[in-house]
Amino acid sequence: MWNILQSDREETVTLRKTTAWMALGASTLLTGAAFAESHGGALSGELRIISDMSNPAPRAVMEGMVADFQEMHPELDIELTIVDREAWKTQIRNSLGANPPDVVNWYAANRMLPYVNAGLFADVSDLWEEPMFEALASTKGAMTLDGKQWGVPYTYYQWGVYYRKDIYEELGLSEPTTWEEEKANCQAILDSGRKCYTIGTKFLWTAGGWFDYINSRTNGYDFHMALARGEVEWTDERVRQTFANWRELIDMGAFVDDHQNYSWQEALPFMVNGEAAAYLMGNFSVAAFRDGGLTDDQLDFYQFPKINPDVDFAEDAPTDTFHIASGAQNVDAAKEFLRFVVSAENQTKINAGDALGQLPVNAEAAVGDDKFLQEGFEMLSNNASGGIMQFFDRDFPAEMASVGMEGLQEFMVFPDNLEDILARLESARQRIYE
């Protein structure tokens, strides 16, 4: 049996499988039974899970996964506690302390670091040595710290350049694959009376996306992550080269004017109206473009091009994860649940358009017919060999991210302030990481 505990009230809620979840896969029990048989061994005892999948659609997915896993292991007692997503960010450390659950939700890469360093997440490297985990190769780096893996991913989504295909066709442009081609396209777009890129930096984080891509394309994933961990000085010449590359676009006038006054949504009309040709953004923007009136014939997507030809592609793909608490009481059941989460069958089901509507982390899973999800899945599964970044405000500690993004926005508006910005960021690095 299993039950759900509503966080803060500790009230037992009767399970009701939603019709939407049931509709996602009538053959769930068949595939689940096949999975259970292939992974052998009856599980028993209690499995305690705390999840932050509190919004309606993710909650239905989480409850559905637990229900399916319960069908596969009827002797197991599963207790699922749903916690508000924002509240969990402050509750997780205490929850992992005294009387910890077996499995929890969190985030990948450096966002795991405080809990790994505190000995609160269990090392699950043995899972990643199993053959089925070869299909998760593109996400392994994001789950790795100190050469070990500390959890599994369950969903992610791509970032990249969404652009007006009709404008590119009008100007005779093709998708760029190099920095020189990117700049040449931009110049042609500017010559046509349009801006190359729309962006809204009022809330700072969008500037972080530009830094992620230009820095990782200039210096590589390992360097970018070392900077995020505080191991590289902001005044390092390699960081300066990132800003030099970025400034080439700024000096061209590539970005819409006064972007510091717009949110990311408020910057959308520039592209919808044809005043700008592209937007570096996450795949969640596609719905907003469609709502704004752009058709899929007008809208397309390309991978951010190479800058340094010796550097492999790294991609921003924010990744949500499951982890086993180091104090877990039912480790065998917890590991089996993680195997189930990343299985191709489950990944196909939970990331479907009427569930999470994101990308499966298992390269053997199926993706729906949405062209942007298909392109993102292909890119992340087969052409992100450099590594998976989690985005600036996830990869950097919260205080460094805040100070850093302020500096990035300032640079986009006042690029001549670079030396002052770098000195300020370096001073913050020395204080924050001490």
CATH number of residue 109's parent domain: 3.40.190.10
**pLDDT, tens only, 318-344:** 999 999 999 999 999 999 999 999 999
For residues 299 and 329, state if they share a domain.
no
Element counts in the chain: helices (H) and strands (E): 20, 15
Shared domain for 146 and 169, answered yes or no, is no
pLDDT: is 117 or 398 the higher one?
A: 117
Asked whether residue 373 is domain-assigned, the answer is no
- Is the pLDDT at 33 greater than 70? The verdict is no
pLDDT at position 149 over 80: yes
Q: Provide the pLDDT confidence category of residue 30 given band limits of 50, 70 and 90.
A: very low
Confidence of residue 51 (pLDDT cuts 50, 70, 90): very high
Higher pLDDT, 412 or 31: 412
Per-residue pLDDT tens for 73-94?
999 999 999 999 889 989 999 9
Q: Strand, coil or helix: what is 201?
A: coil
Domain assignment present for residue 277? The answer is: yes
Answer yes or no: is pLDDT of 218 > 70: yes
Instruction: Give the model's pLDDT for residue 98.
Output: 85
* Pair 153, 164 in one domain: no
Look at residue 174 and tell me whether its pLDDT is greater than 80. Answer: yes
pLDDT of 369 > 50? The answer is: yes
If pLDDT is split at 50, 70 and 90, which confidence band does 8 have? Answer: very low
Residues 74 and 183 placed together within one structural domain of the fold: no
Mean pLDDT of 127-135: 97
Mean pLDDT of the region 251-263: 98
396 assigned to some structural domain: yes
Query: What confidence tier does 4 reach under pLDDT thresholds 50, 70, 90?
Result: low
Identify whether 372 is part of a domain. Answer: no
Residue 83 lies in a domain: yes
Determine the Cα–Cα distance for residues 150 and 127; give it in Å rounded to an integer. Answer: 10
- Listing DSSP states for 306-372 in one string gives BSSTTS--EEE--EEEEEEBTT-S-HHHHHHHHHHHHSHHHHHHHTSTTTT-SB-SSTTS---S-HH
Of 401 and 9, more confident: 401
Share of the chain above pLDDT 70, in %: 91
Same domain, 227 and 193: yes
Residues 94 and 219 both lie in one domain: no
Pick 238 or 28 by higher pLDDT: 238
Average pLDDT value for the chain = 91
**163 domain residue, yes or no:** yes
381 in a structural domain = no
Please give the torsion angle defined by the CA atoms of residues 354, 301, 164 and 221, in that order, rounded to the nearest 10 degrees: 120
64 in Cβ contact with 32 (< 8 Å): no
The residue segments making up the domain with residue 408 are 159-316+389-432
Spatial distance between the Cα atoms of 190 and 254, rounded to a whole number of angstroms? 7
Question: Distance between CA 189 and CA 181 in Å, rounded?
Answer: 12
pLDDT at site 232: 98
Name the pLDDT band for 3 (thresholds 50, 70, 90): low
Q: Examine the domain organization and report whether 251 and 299 are in the same domain.
A: yes
Number of domains comprising the chain: 2
Residue 420 lies in a domain: yes
My answer on whether 210 and 279 are in the same domain is yes
pLDDT value at residue 41: 62
Q: Are residues 236 and 341 in the same domain?
A: no
| Same domain assignment for residues 116 and 133 | yes
Averaged over 150-160, what is the pLDDT? 97
109 with 20, same domain? yes
Residues 390-409 have pLDDT tens digits of 999 999 998 999 999 999 99
**pLDDT at residue 60 greater than cutoff 60:** yes
Question: Whose structure tokens read 């690029």?
Answer: 415
Whether 129 and 18 map to the same domain: the answer is yes
